[in-house]
Amino acid sequence: MQTIKSVPSRFVSAVRRSFRQFLALPLATVLGFVGLNALVYLADRAWSAGQAPHGFRWLGALLGDSAALSSLLTTVASSIITVTSITFSLLLLAVQQGSAALTAQVTDQFMARRTNQFYFGYFVGLSVFVLMTLVTSTDFHRPVFGTTLALLLTASALCLIIVMIYNTIDQMRPAQIIQFIHCRVLEARAADLRLLAATRRSARPGWPAAATVRARESGYVVGLDHARIARAVEAEAAGDVEIAFDVAVGTYRAVHDPLFRIHARPGAALADRAREAIAAEGLEALVFDDGRDLGRDAAYGLHQLSTIAWTSVSTAKSNPSPGLSVIQALRNIIAQWSPGEDAPPEDARSCIVYPDAGPTAATDALEAIIVVASESIQSQTLTEAVATLAILLGHVGPTTAARLADMSGRALSSLGEHVMTRELEAALGDLARALDGRGFAEAAGAVSKASADLAASLGRLNSRSTRVPGTVS
């Protein structure tokens, strides 16, 4: 029954997502043109019975009678529709080529840009405006103002095509795509912080789990109504129950996957009815959808950045430039999010325990780039990643620093695939000093030893699998 019940809810979620991601501004622009046409129609009524408005008689004489206006509007309508269809086809072809060069994430960022949404809405709205003006052209109604405005808007549209083509080409540059996603990740973090500020990060010690609630539908968790859960707990078992979530917004869950656990205070008697009521409200408070929203899901943006870097850095594309841009974007994201790990925003009185997956996802994305750099032997990508670790260790908080130190040790497993370039040697030296400066002496020693082992291969003819002496049994 739950799956059947979720169908209309899933449809509503999909519609809302489509409006948030793209449809809202284009449709609003089209409706604006429709409203403008209604206003101009009222103004054009002044031309009825040949009574030209004062000071505009010359305009009526210039554009001619109703037959001439209809002929002109027919030409304008067919031209703007033809130009629009051809232009949009070329733009979509450019987007397709960009997607082939990087990943499908290009399409998401293209649709999410407000300027692109306005372009689509403007051209479609202009076509509707011209057609509506053409329909109102009759023997007793001369749309002189409507025709004049249609000509001016069409001329503006033709000039706008140049700007639109330039913007589209500029947006297909990898650096622009990565920068846009990077900005959206930082913006989406605001939604995470609001949810984090209303919940807690850790469960109360000693509170046993009274029940584990599992998913009754599949999809991505795209929303969480924490207030609804808090009201249910307050009504059924105030002070005796807390809800510990196993998932964060953006997590995929299949049917029967665990969602959250109901913890009860030791010694508290939690009635079955109360437990079932809280579980039911918790399930209703979660919003599932088939797709993720870049504007509200910071982890999705990090996934896109990681995918772009993996695709470009690997031998599938062997293009280090996008990978370097992603590393730089991740460095900025990690630096900005690190203070929140040591002083996380939370409500100590909340009955909801919710995990903060954002900072971990950011460092995991950086770690994935280090791994794929070994597959393509891109020394410049590995050097930038190692340098990023050294820079971040100089100022991030203790929690982030501990995770970066662990990453540094794991990254050494792939170091033997590379050649010790001068830049890589310098970056490894900086990383060892940074680790030692933060108190990770063991990790610093491991980096120094691995660097020395790789340096020992200099001047020797080795294959990829035997580059570092002593690594092959």
- On whether both 84 and 223 belong to a single domain, the answer is no
Residue 17 in this model has a pLDDT that exceeds 50: yes
Largest CA distance in the chain: 100
Tally of structural domains, the chain? 3
Which residues on neighbouring strands pair with residue 213, listed in sequence order? Answer: 260
- On whether both 308 and 416 belong to a single domain, the answer is yes
In a domain, 471, yes or no: no
- On whether both 450 and 318 belong to a single domain, the answer is yes
- On whether both 209 and 256 belong to a single domain, the answer is yes
Residue 314 in this model has a pLDDT that exceeds 60: yes
- On whether both 214 and 161 belong to a single domain, the answer is no
pLDDT per residue over 96-150, tens digit each?
777 666 666 677 778 888 888 898 899 999 999 999 988 888 777 778 888 889 9
In a domain, 109, yes or no: yes
Q: What is the pLDDT of residue 2?
A: 40
- On whether both 124 and 24 belong to a single domain, the answer is yes
CB-based contact 302:279 (threshold 8 Å): no
Residue 408's nearest CA partner among 355, 448, 460 is 448
- On whether both 318 and 451 belong to a single domain, the answer is yes
Residue 4 in this model has a pLDDT that exceeds 60: no
Cα(371)–Cα(283) distance, integer angstroms: 38
Q: What is the pLDDT of residue 7?
A: 54
CATH number at 216 reads: 3.90.1170.30
Domain boundary among 123, 153, 172: 172
In a domain, 193, yes or no: no
- On whether both 306 and 408 belong to a single domain, the answer is yes
More confident residue, 110 or 322: 322
In a domain, 6, yes or no: yes
CB-based contact 352:227 (threshold 8 Å): no
Label residue 5 by pLDDT band (50, 70, 90): very low
Residue 452's nearest CA partner among 420, 427, 414 is 420
Mean local confidence (pLDDT), 73-100: 80
Residue 279 in this model has a pLDDT that exceeds 50: yes
Please give the residue range of the domain that contains residue 265.
201-289
In a domain, 185, yes or no: no
In a domain, 473, yes or no: no
Q: What is the pLDDT of residue 8?
A: 60
Q: What is the pTM of this model?
A: 0.81
Residue 41 in this model has a pLDDT that exceeds 80: yes
Q: Which run of H or E residues covers position 358? A: helix 358-376
In a domain, 188, yes or no: no
pLDDT per residue over 332-378, tens digit each?
999 999 998 888 889 989 999 999 989 999 999 999 999 999 888 89
Cα(363)–Cα(303) distance, integer angstroms: 11
> 52-61, 160-169, 279-288, 370-379: lowest mean pLDDT where?
52-61
More confident residue, 196 or 267: 196
Q: What is the pLDDT of residue 225?
A: 93
- On whether both 370 and 284 belong to a single domain, the answer is no
In a domain, 178, yes or no: no
Mean local confidence (pLDDT), 402-415: 92
- On whether both 400 and 281 belong to a single domain, the answer is no
